[in-house]
Amino acid sequence: MPIGQAKFGLLGGVKPDFDIEYLVIAGGGGAGTGNDAPGGGGAGGLRNSYASESSGGGGSTETPLQNISPDGTTTYTVTVGAGGSTNSVGNNSVFSTITSLGGGDGGTSTNQSGSAGATGGSGGGGGHASGAAGSGTTNQGFAGVAGNTSDAGNHQGGGGGGAGAIGGYGGNASGVTSSITGTAIEYGKGGERATKAANSSGNSGAGAVVSANLGNGGNAGGGGNTSTAGGSGVVIIRYPSTININVGAGLTSSTATDGSDKVTTFTAGTDTITFS
């Protein structure tokens, strides 16, 4: 049905079909573990249709969900992906036909031997010097980076890939900034790698707790520090303020108004939604 064609609402009012802009970020992958220098977790895949903003992995803005009927009966599935625990990939996030893939977990590192980071929305970083990088997913996130062999004096894992950049050897790979809520927020940072000086129990990996609902990868510990889980994802939708949303009990959400639009943010759970 063409956009703007009138339909009768449940109370006899007339409302046109409408479009929904979305930001769908999956849960980030958990960092690797081990007593040496594990890799950071990859960020959750990020798909974005808001304004002219980019999606993850260098992808362009996607097409909004179009010709949505405010009939009060057509259902749309929403799932918010949880972050992966250490050594585990993140969970997918879903809005209707849009699926973002969970981030890959970072490679493990034990006794100067490392495993590869896992493939995901963004790829996990490799553990130690021998761990390969995990691949990202096209138009969702970037790859992690392999363990670093260039410094013989230190054991160095690789950083997890972010929605905005390939994983690295210092700090967190960048995410993608979106203003879909009305405020500019960076989503989908890659998890920080760990390093350990040879023959030492010290470690410079961050090991810091990752914030919820940003889809960030977990930060690696190792060498006595604790690696962390990936951050949970989020689903955010933006639609005309004349439309009412009906949210299933299995979802945790909040709705705000920004200009002439409503913005609903889903932070946990899975269920269906309808519009009227």
**pLDDT mean across residues, the chain:** 90
Strands in 60-166 per DSSP E: 65-68, 76-79, 93-95, 98-100, 109-110, 113-114, 154-156
Q: Each residue of 237-263: b (16+ CB within 10 Å) or e?
A: bbbbeebbbebeeebebeeeeeeebbb
Is residue 255 in some structural domain? Answer: yes
Which residues, 6+ apart, have CB-to-CB distance to 149 below 8 Å? 129
Q: What is the tally of structural domains in the chain? A: 1
- Print the domain residue range for 90: 12-276
Instruction: Encode pLDDT of 226-265 as tens digits.
Output: 899 999 999 999 999 999 999 999 999 999 999 999 999 9
pLDDT computed for residue 7 by the predictor: 42
In 3D space, the residue among 73, 3, 70, 30 whose CA is nearest the CA of residue 192 turns out to be 30
H or E element: which one contains 16? strand 14-16
Is residue 93 in some structural domain? Answer: yes
Rounded average pLDDT over 187-191 = 97
Rounded average pLDDT over 93-122 = 95
Is residue 82 in some structural domain? Answer: yes
Is the pLDDT reported for residue 208 higher than 70? yes
pLDDT computed for residue 224 by the predictor: 62
Is the pLDDT reported for residue 70 higher than 60? yes
Is residue 217 in some structural domain? Answer: yes
Residues 274, 276: Cα–Cα separation, whole Å: 7
Does the model's pTM come out above 0.95? no
Is residue 138 in some structural domain? Answer: yes
- Contact predicate 234/23, CB 8 Å: yes
What is the band of 9 on the pLDDT scale with cuts at 50, 70, 90? very low
- Contact predicate 95/21, CB 8 Å: no
256 strand-pairing partners: 263
